[in-house]
């Protein structure tokens, strides 16, 4: 038997995590009544063979009930349709009944404060929807391998390089994870190894997809974006849709679903081309490409949602992330992914500009590590904050090329071409704020990261 609970907003006030635990304790006592009733109902509709009862508590605002139920019902039906439970229809009907009873308030006696748990004080279960699924072990298996057991974490851009890396780390910790990706730049092959993740193919430009993705989730890692400066120069509208509109949609859906915290992949491109190094968070942003402007707009939305709606938001401004799973095949790919692939294949690389431009290249493990810290950090420390995420070291492209020659065995020289529009010259982060707010320290330095990255591209043929 499985009991899964999710809670969210109450009376438009945010329920803080501490409070939530108290509510959950109380809720559990009250839910025992429901569970007993559920058992009886289960045997009424299905006298034999019932092996599992799943009781789900969704704490939502009353006004959202109908839409919420419709969405949940759609998800359950999908699951049951894919289940090998031969008597799944019963489960579905039973579930529908319970949903509608909940929607029309007929559960009040079952969760009546006086008869259950909490000294007569009003409590959140009265605004909850309780749904019940009865089934056999086969149904249970389908549910547990799929989307019915609601994920605690949502990763957007889960088929992308950074998203899949965060999802993998969460799964390795035994967390329940949902991912969403539209495959505009994400790759299906990046989902290999993430089978335990519930996956939604959907576009964050679509508010309905965002609502589906956020349902029941506690923490969102918003990694989805069209992450490329030159791509944004070629297609500023596409970048705006996939970076700005998508981010606003995620925030709106997160708030409506009672998500507690959204962690956002910001970009160092926000600093633009100001010569001052290192870049500190208190410097005025100065985006010089559509991509930088779009990512910066997302940062502002994060801050505003924390301030206006009390949603916990954290912005991590990434500096040139690299590592395994970064797509090396696109013209818009990150420079290290392109260089690794080409040099391993014995092909010449192109350096735009004189190669003297420098970057604070950040190995992916550092990014994953900081995201996990950001998810766990106390709200009073991090909510509404923006901080650099990097290594506080920089290296030029020419130097990087030399290190890669050693690591890959490539013996040729690079070709030099004119500098790219929208490119900045130098980039180096001050990471003291992340140290202070998250306790972050880089875990893997540039050389070691590059070594691991080359090994990875070597092992997968640079695909």
Please list the active-site residues.
Answer: 291
CB of 96 to ligand UD1, least distance (A): 46
CA distance 448 to 369: 16
Decide whether 122 or 356 has the Cβ nearer to ligand UD1. 356
What angle in degrees, to the nearest 10, is found between the helix axes of 65-82 and 207-214? 80
Decide whether 216 or 334 has the Cβ nearer to ligand UD1. 334
CB of 311 to ligand UD1, least distance (A): 24
CB of 386 to ligand UD1, least distance (A): 14
Decide whether 5 or 327 has the Cβ nearer to ligand UD1. 327
CA distance 206 to 224: 13
Q: Which residues lie closer than 8 Å to 37 by C-beta, 6 or more apart?
A: 110
CA distance 215 to 200: 12
Which of 425, 322, 440 has the alpha carbon at shortest distance from 388?
Answer: 440
CB of 305 to ligand UD1, least distance (A): 22
Q: Is 148 exposed, middle or buried (0-12, 13-18, 19+ CB in 10 A)?
A: buried
Contact 166, 368 (CB under 8 A): yes
Long-range contacts of 241-246, Cβ-Cβ distance < 8 Å, separation of 24 or more: 241/205, 242/184, 242/204, 242/205, 243/291, 243/294, 243/295, 243/297, 243/298, 244/294, 244/297, 244/298, 244/301, 245/204, 245/205, 246/156, 246/203, 246/204, 246/205, 246/210
CB of 289 to ligand UD1, least distance (A): 7
Decide whether 186 or 334 has the Cβ nearer to ligand UD1. 334
Decide whether 111 or 270 has the Cβ nearer to ligand UD1. 270
Binding site for ligand UD1 (CB under 6 A): 227-229, 267-269, 318, 320, 334-335, 338, 350-352, 357, 359, 397, 420, 423-424, 427
Decide whether 207 or 353 has the Cβ nearer to ligand UD1. 353
Q: Read out DSSP for 144-179?
A: HHTTSS--SEEEETTTSHHHHHHHHHHHHTT--EEE
Residue 387: strand, helix, or coil: strand
- Which residues pair with residue 179 across a beta bridge? 155, 199
33 DSSP assignment:
H
CA distance 183 to 201: 8
Decide whether 334 or 462 has the Cβ nearer to ligand UD1. 334
* Residue 282 structure tokens: 């208190």
């Amino acid at each position: 038997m499985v009991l899964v609970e999710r809670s969210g907003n109450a009376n438009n006030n945010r329920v803080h995590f501490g409070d939530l635990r108290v509510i959950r304790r109380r809720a559990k006592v009250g839910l025992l009544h429901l569970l007993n009733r559920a058992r009886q109902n289960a045997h009424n509709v299905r006298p034999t063979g019932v092996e599992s009862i799943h009781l789900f508590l969704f704490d939502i605002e009353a006004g959202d009930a109908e839409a919420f139920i419709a969405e949940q019902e759609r998800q359950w039906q999908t699951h049951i349709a894919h289940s090998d439970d031969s008597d799944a229809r019963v489960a579905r009907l039973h579930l529908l009944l319970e949903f509608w009873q909940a929607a029309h308030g007929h559960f009040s006696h079952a969760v009546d404060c006086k008869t259950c748990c909490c000294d007569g004080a009003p409590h959140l279960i009265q605004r909850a929807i309780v749904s019940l699924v009865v089934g056999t072990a086969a149904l249970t298996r389908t549910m547990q391998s799929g989307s019915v057991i609601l994920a605690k974490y949502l990763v957007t851009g889960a088929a992308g390089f950074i998203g899949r890396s965060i999802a993998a780390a969460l799964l390795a910790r035994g967390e329940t994870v949902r991912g969403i990706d539209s495959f505009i730049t994400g790759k299906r092959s990046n989902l290999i190894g993430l089978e335990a993740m519930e996956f939604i193919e959907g576009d964050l430009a679509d508010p309905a997809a965002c609502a589906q993705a956020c349902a029941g989730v506690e923490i969102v890692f918003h990694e989805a974006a069209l992450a490329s400066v030159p791509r944004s120069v070629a297609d500023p509208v596409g970048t705006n849709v996939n970076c700005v509109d998508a981010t606003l949609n995620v925030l709106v859906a997160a708030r409506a679903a009672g998500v507690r915290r959204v962690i956002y992949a910001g970009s160092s491109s926000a600093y633009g081309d100001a010569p001052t190094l290192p870049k500190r968070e208190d410097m005025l942003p100065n985006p010089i490409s559509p991509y930088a402007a779009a990512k910066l707009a997302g940062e502002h939305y994060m801050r505003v949602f924390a301030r206006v709606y009390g949603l916990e938001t954290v912005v991590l401004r990434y500096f040139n992330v690299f590592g395994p799973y970064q797509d090396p095949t696109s013209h818009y790919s990150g420079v290290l992914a392109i260089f690794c692939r080409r040099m391993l294949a014995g092909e010449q690389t192109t350096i735009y500009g004189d190669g003297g431009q420098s970057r604070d290249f950040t190995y992916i493990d550092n990014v994953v590590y900081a995201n996990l810290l950001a998810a766990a950090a106390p709200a009073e420390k991090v909510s509404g904050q923006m901080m650099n995420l990097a290594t506080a070291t920089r290296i030029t492209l020419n130097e990087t090329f030399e290190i890669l020659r050693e690591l890959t065995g490539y013996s040729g020289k690079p070709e030099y071409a004119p500098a790219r529009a929208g490119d900045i010259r130098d980039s180096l982060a001050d990471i003291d704020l992340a140290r202070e707010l998250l306790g972050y320290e880089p875990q893997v330095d540039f050389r070691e990261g590059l070594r691991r990255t080359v090994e990875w591209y070597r092992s997968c043929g640079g695909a």
